[in-house]
Chain A
């Protein structure tokens, strides 16, 4: 025997990004803390030792911030002009920074005055860093040269001038104390070994290199420049592994997360993209207010700090882990009720008759079952249904329309109810999934209540609002159609070209056509 079938509520698939493990992980940060600096922030570096303070280089100062402090806990301001690239040593005790005037200064974290000063570059030094043997510093300057300095003696041990443009980025190998890498605006990345007189490897990036990064294993090298992030296999002699083009402005900074599984890139297009280092697909992305110059991730991904061109430092802390205490079970029912009837063992010859599951009907379904259409409509206009699950309201309206009783359900309502109905319709009629049904409803309401227009200020106001909303929607649709027309014209010209382009390009492999696709 058939039983009553409840109203089917249509489920609309959620569009947009899917919830993955990654989105959940990267969303788990609190609302950011904004700190204003004096100028564009060109470098952020975390101290490798607890309590993980970080050094922020902006304008002519280097500020050291504590993990949760809003104010700098220490400032190094002995620079005449802009300071660059303040970097911690592995033990977190020393800090080195380049400067606009060409000198490199070495600070003790506890002190104020520089311990050493290395002079030798003739122009601004944008990149400095410690080699992993801790006693040497490498640097690259706008005078196209890169050098290695000895800390105890404060002397230059070796100098290379192989780049043909500004050297703007670099990093040192964590495994070999002699190897460091510099990237330059001459579109190349060079690998140097301090023991040799010249570079050991040159990689052609194709765009001015803004940032380089070496994987902890030392096998993979990531370079960023122009709109591209490129990954190279160093062990294979600098072979291109993958070229990522997910930003639409210059990529300025790169960073690895603590596990080394994710690569982050910040760009002038105000986005930070997070890639998986296995598939090199974007798994998440952050959006910021202005162009990003620098980016750093604390150990354990505890904090993401982004420095921007307008001197704002954006600090995001990870939310503390949800305590599992809350989900503790409610009090169990008494033992006696719990075991009642459960310990009965059916005998062999017993027939087992399963009890048919009782289906519990919602209130509107009960009313629809007994053909009380007006009351069913009232039931779905209750605030909690109307506001949080409008699809239920609309589905019931549709069901009433199907039964031919929508008109009588809408009729005979007082001022308050009409205004409530009209508010609902005005608000939801522009949602595409509700439009067909709500247009019918709006039609019927205007039909039914046409004679009483002008008797209530409240209802009149709602009618005007409805008219306004629909007018706005029509304008919007017209605009959309115009855009569509324009795009059609564009596509028409484009497809023709592409067809020929494809013909020519078949031998060149797939990468170029892929690029073409993305640019479209």
Chain B
């Protein structure tokens, strides 16, 4: 249990929810309805009624590309993945039933009621892709080979949207570029239709998606210029007809027919869901402002719900009368994250770019968006190639009372706005206090608040640095409002260099601003330039001050791969290391600093204290992607960390965001621990019928978990006893310690194993013994207690070993304690 676990990288959010069309499970009641969708390597199951994540189906080794309900058993689910397997799940219980290994990358999956024991997949064939049918054997066994492939269509598009099966699986339609091919299974006839690449009016005829009418011979195709064509009579090569529907001004991204075929749904970049009624052009309904481009549209099998998957990792559930019902959203994927990862001190939520112009507050515990704050407050036009203002910088004051945001829009000239928001206790949200247009002449590169206790409000100030070679200090003017308005107090510059970073020291007395290759340190009360640091090769990328005991150090990372540490007391370089640091993140609660480097296409993590040049923890090549941003999030309860090496993870957790906008964290817990924890959370109580057996099982589980907790407590107790107290004593500078005569007893006491501790250890064991004696009536109970005893054994032995170890020492230590230390005080 105490054995040092290796540091593992854990993915904790932001996986793409839109790998494939989402599927509604079939159920009589709305409450029993689930929505199944592919998310990265997993299949996620959400409750339609509560939008909660109910179950996570894990097992695939690569991106999941297709999710389909089994046609003959609606409680089972097929999923296909890039790792070349098709898996059959019982999704209500989360059990993997079968795995069929196909051996090729699977790009799309189609399951039809007409074909009993085969599914259709798209697999790559050299440069092109082909649609094949895979025979799934019904033999028993978990892992199957499914090598019986028969090619249906050659040269199809890789996207699952470009192939569709029509009217009880009689034909398949597939589009690629400007051609549509229809294959009739019974007649074994292939019809090809092609359009010219551009029409007379300059429209772009390239096909983007296809859908087939459920009952009639009708195919709907979407085009790159926003047109939708309805093809009929396509079983004749020559006499086919099509009619055109046009509303979208940009690419049609997905099409879906309603269950009865009376209406057609289409979605695109405009983020408007359009419902076309029975093919007539004139009658259509809209559901506008869905947030971002619609990637997939799907319909539940009874037609009561529609669901749209969006490009920003969001799923919207819509009632059949086009009323917005619910939204499922995790970490929203922004086009470009400029704000970095910021932690809201109030809610401990991660704050970053969300929807265009919005700031998302993302709760890490529940993988959910808490709320989205509209910063730009302008109507966002969903249109490709438009330059619209977006959020560039965010900063919170220490207590989360103030929020500063910078938004920018760059066209021929730059539009900049600095906004300051005040947290309103009444409405529990941020309220705009001051808006400053063009705070700098050029881009704002960094921004920080003076991080101090906000007891004295006049100490609050904001510093912004800009590419216009100055940094500006903003303070509150109290005279106008009760809350005050912000205005510029000081403008500083250094030799006409661009200001790139700024950072306040822990006590707020010093401000460090980096100007290209130089770091300048300013006194924050008089705005005098105190000193400058420079380490020639390369511009300064990031800077930060050390904290707590290391507050006299300033750390900086340069472009050319140097990490430097300057001592502010001696104004000299303390140490430097050759390291290509991409992100430098200090922990707000301890003196540790995490540095992420990027070398040979792999990221490494280094954790160090500024006062020692040797890193405490090195984790080389732990991530193949470049780390963009990182943040330490304070834990609610300090975690029990086994090894000395990972003590820095005790009080806060490190999160980081990769280039592909996946949020990850590092953890020392082993995989099993995490899994059991999460599975417990996810257990669906309502679906379990209450039987005597389940009650019994539940009780047993509860007791087991309690033992786990007890075990944990003991271990932590030991740790806390011998490491922090002693450590603090040993690591605190000598001049701040009390006299040695005062410290000696404390120190020795801390080394002793106290008696109370022992009794705590023994108490649970005794209780268990009693229970064993008392409950001796039934056989079932007996077995349960036996199992328990087995569980207890390691606990006791563990307790005893520590006990024994200390007993011999104890005597000696007691002896030492009795001796007189008054001679020490003489010194």
Contact = CB atoms under 8 A, between A and B. Distances in A.
A402 B289 contact: no
Nearest to A371: B381
A14 to B, nearest CB: 12
A309 B324 CA distance: 79
A379 B386 CA distance: 24
Interface in B277-307: 289, 291
B357 to A, nearest CB: 9
A236 interface: no
B427 interface: no
Given A402-B388, A436-B413, A2 B378 contact: no
Contacts of B383: 403-404
Given A2-B289, A2-B291, A402 B324 contact: no
Contacts of A5: 374, 377-379
B437 interface: yes
Interface in B368-424: 374, 377-379, 381, 383, 385-389, 409, 412-413
Nearest to A6: B379
Contacts of A10: 437
Contacts of A440: 412
A3 B377 CA distance: 11
A489 interface: no
- By secondary structure, the B interface counts as loop
A1 B381 CA distance: 16
A5 B380 CA distance: 9
Interface in A424-472: 436, 440
B807 to A, nearest CB: 67
Given A1-B324, A402-B388, A402-B409, A8 B378 contact: yes
Contacts of B289: 1-4
Contact of B386 (A8, A399, A404): A404
Contact of A403 (B291, B386, B437): B386
Contacts of B374: 5
A293 interface: no
Nearest to B327: A1
Interface string B497-516: 00000000000000000000
Contacts of A4: 289, 379
A403 B324 contact: no
A1 B327 CA distance: 9
Contacts of A2: 289, 291
A8 B324 CA distance: 26
A8 B432 CA distance: 13
Contacts of B413: 436
A368 B380 CA distance: 12
Interface in A362-421: 368-369, 399, 402-404
B378 A403 contact: no
Contacts of A404: 383, 385-386
Contacts of B437: 10
A3 B374 CA distance: 12
A387 to B, nearest CB: 25
Contact of A8 (B291, B377, B381, B385): B377
Nearest to B413: A436
Contacts of A436: 413
A436 B414 CA distance: 10
Interface string A196-214: 0000000000000000000
Nearest to A402: B388
B246 to A, nearest CB: 15
B307 to A, nearest CB: 15
B324 A368 contact: no
Interface in A1-54: 1-8, 10
A127 to B, nearest CB: 43
Contacts of A8: 377-378
A35 B22 CA distance: 89
Nearest to B291: A2
A431 to B, nearest CB: 15
A402 B378 contact: yes
A403 B387 CA distance: 8
Given A1-B324, A2-B289, A436-B413, A403 B381 contact: yes
Nearest to B386: A404
A238 B414 CA distance: 62
A3 B387 CA distance: 21
Interface in B632-663: none
A2 B380 CA distance: 11
A5 B385 CA distance: 21
A90 B378 CA distance: 69
Contacts of B378: 5, 7-8, 399, 402
A1 B355 CA distance: 13
B525 to A, nearest CB: 19
Given A1-B289, A2-B291, A436-B413, A368 B386 contact: no
A368 B437 CA distance: 24
Contacts of B412: 440
Interface in A79-98: none
Interface in B335-385: 374, 377-379, 381, 383, 385
A246 B127 CA distance: 86
A243 B387 CA distance: 58
Nearest to A10: B437
A6 B374 CA distance: 13
Contacts of B389: 402
A186 B388 CA distance: 72
B380 to A, nearest CB: 8
Contacts of B386: 402-404
A436 B381 CA distance: 22
B386 to A, nearest CB: 6
A493 to B, nearest CB: 22
A292 to B, nearest CB: 32
A7 B389 CA distance: 14
A404 B388 CA distance: 10
A399 B377 CA distance: 12
Contacts of A3: 289
A475 B383 CA distance: 42
A6 B377 CA distance: 9
Nearest to A369: B379
Contacts of A368: 379
A5 B289 CA distance: 11
In this complex, the member of B289, B379, B385, B389 whose beta carbon has the largest number of chain A beta carbons within 10 angstroms is B379
A377 B409 CA distance: 22
A228 to B, nearest CB: 28
In this complex, the member of A7, A404, A440 whose beta carbon has the largest number of chain B beta carbons within 10 angstroms is A404
In this complex, the member of B381, B385, B409 whose beta carbon has the largest number of chain A beta carbons within 10 angstroms is B381
A3 B290 CA distance: 10
Interface in B784-821: none
A8 B374 CA distance: 13
Nearest to A13: B485
Contacts of A399: 378-379
A272 to B, nearest CB: 26
A378 B388 CA distance: 24
Contacts of B409: 402
A427 B387 CA distance: 29
In this complex, the member of B378, B383, B388 whose beta carbon has the largest number of chain A beta carbons within 10 angstroms is B378
A318 to B, nearest CB: 30
Nearest to A5: B379
A368 to B, nearest CB: 7
Nearest to A401: B411
17 contacts: A1-B289, A1-B324, A2-B289, A2-B291, A4-B289, A5-B377, A5-B379, A7-B378, A7-B379, A8-B377, A10-B437, A368-B379, A402-B378, A402-B389, A403-B381, A403-B386, A404-B385
Interface of A: 1-8, 10, 368-369, 399, 402-404, 436, 440
Given A369-B379, A402-B386, 5 more contacts: A1-B324, A4-B289, A4-B379, A7-B378, A402-B409
Q: Which 5 A-B pairs have the closest CB atoms?
A: A2-B289, A5-B379, A1-B324, A403-B381, A404-B386
